[in-house]
Structure 1
Amino acid sequence: MSGVNRLRLSQLLTQALRHVPGEFGLVLDDQGWAKLPDVVAAIGRAGFTSVEDSTVRDLVARQTKTRLEISGDRIRAAYGHSLSTVVDHVVVSTPPPVLFHATSPEAWEHILREGLKPMGRQFVHLATSAEQAMIVGRRHAQRPVLLRIDTARAAGHGVQFRNGSDSVILTDYVPADCIAADS
């Protein structure tokens, strides 16, 4: 992948496959899959003219967070969609006892009253480590609030957890009484 900005390519792929496939001329099936040759062509039209099928496959194989997945000649975003695409995520029968989410202080005040909601996404994203949550949280606030999710308590409320990737667990909602903030 010499000469290709891997970060920018990854961001462009996730944007196209999570949020705005139509802007790239892509059609996703009901599980979020697009044809890899169509995606490579779309990326070329967006300025990545040297990107080939093998470039995208290499990027996906080397990703540190499983944001994208390839199956045969198809590719999709593993999670994070703001579209009506519904990716089947495996239910996690025994999630870690604590999951993490980092947010802005302003959002924390709202979460304290109403719980964690997916907002513009299909699912609430929870990290398996505090460090990963803080990385994401810093995108939204200079000094994010680290939230700890009591998964046993949440499960007692009927909350189901789904596997998003190796470091992300997804859910529809987390009640406020299952959330504590680090002080």
Structure 2
Amino acid sequence: MIKRCPQHGFFRGERCECGSTGQLLLDETKTEQLGRLVAGGLRHFPGDLGLEMDSRGWVDLAKLGEVVKSRHRWASKELVIALVESDPKQRYEIHNDKVRARYGHSVDVELDHAENELPKLYYGASEEEADRILEIGLKSASQRYVHLSTTPQKAWHVATFRTGNPKIIQVDAANAQKEGVKMMTVNEDIVISEMIPSRFLEILATKDILKN
């Protein structure tokens, strides 16, 4: 659910960090409905919703507000803003009356986030997937960019949603970037990347994954 605290603004859950129960804006069902529609418009099919997206992934916030209102009578531009600002995964951003997804695109965009500064990054995969990745390199089958984790533990956590016993691939990000592979920081958990050649990849030992 999404609520609004009079002091701290929009938040998810029962209480704001200050303890306020806040004003209910969207229940869980409506939050999910709005989230799916916004994700579709900003990541996957903007044209189908009548949205014009520029090369950096930005669309007009007011127009998106009109689109969600046309699909759900209870929706509005304000609720889109509430969804964005309260999102714990920081999936979206608003700037100068424009809104975009920070990552997760299947449409062709050229994002302009800050360059990654971490020397090592991580990707979780099944054993079969890992073997193939080490042969042909790491690229996304369905999204514009590969999504990498900033720690092996985070990569492990993400991968467990897809496979029971993931292998963690360590990416030599520093040298890959020196050779022209574009990598950008989305947030403290995620870095997105162009295709990464196999020479920059290796399987991380289990003992290293389990370190703090």
Distance (Å, rounded) in 1 between the aligned partners of 2:131 and 2:184: 26
RMSD: 2.3
8 Å Cα contact 1:17/1:77 also seen in 2: yes
Residue 8 to residue 107, structure 1, CA distance change in 2 (3 Å): farther
5+ residue gaps in structure 1? Answer: none
Say which SS state the counterpart of residue 147 (structure 2) adopts: strand
Regions of 4+ moved over 3 Å = 155-158
CA offset digits 1:65-123 (Å, max 9, x no partner): 2211111322111122221222223323xx22321111233221210101111333222
Identity of aligned residues (%): 28
| Alpha-carbon distance in structure 2 between the residues aligned to 1:2 and 1:75 | 20
Q: How far apart, in 2, do the equivalents of 1:164 and 1:90 lie?
A: 8
Quick check: 1:175 aligned with 2:197? yes
Number of matched residues?
180
**Residue in 1 that maps onto 2:81:** 57
Distance (whole Å) between structure 2 residues aligned to residue 111 and residue 150 of structure 1:
14
Is 1:17 the counterpart of 2:39 in the alignment?
no
Cα contact 1:137–1:144 (8 A) shared by 2: yes
TM-score (norm 1): 0.83
Which structure exhibits the higher relative contact order, with contacts defined as CA atoms closer than 8 Å and separated by 6 or more residues? 1
Name the aligned partner's letter for residue 141 of structure 1.
T
Mapped contact 1:66–1:166 kept (Cα < 8 A) = no
Q: 1:35 to 1:4 in 2, by over 3 A?
A: farther
TM-score normalised by L of structure 2: 0.73
Q: Which runs of 5+ in 2 are unaligned?
A: 1-24, 207-212
1:12-51 superposed Cα distances (whole Å, 9 cap, x missing partner): 31222111112222221232211222212222333x3322
Please tell me whether residue 41 in structure 1 is matched to residue 63 in structure 2.
Answer: no
In the TM superposition, 1:74-153 aligns within 5 A as 74-92=98-116, 95-153=117-175
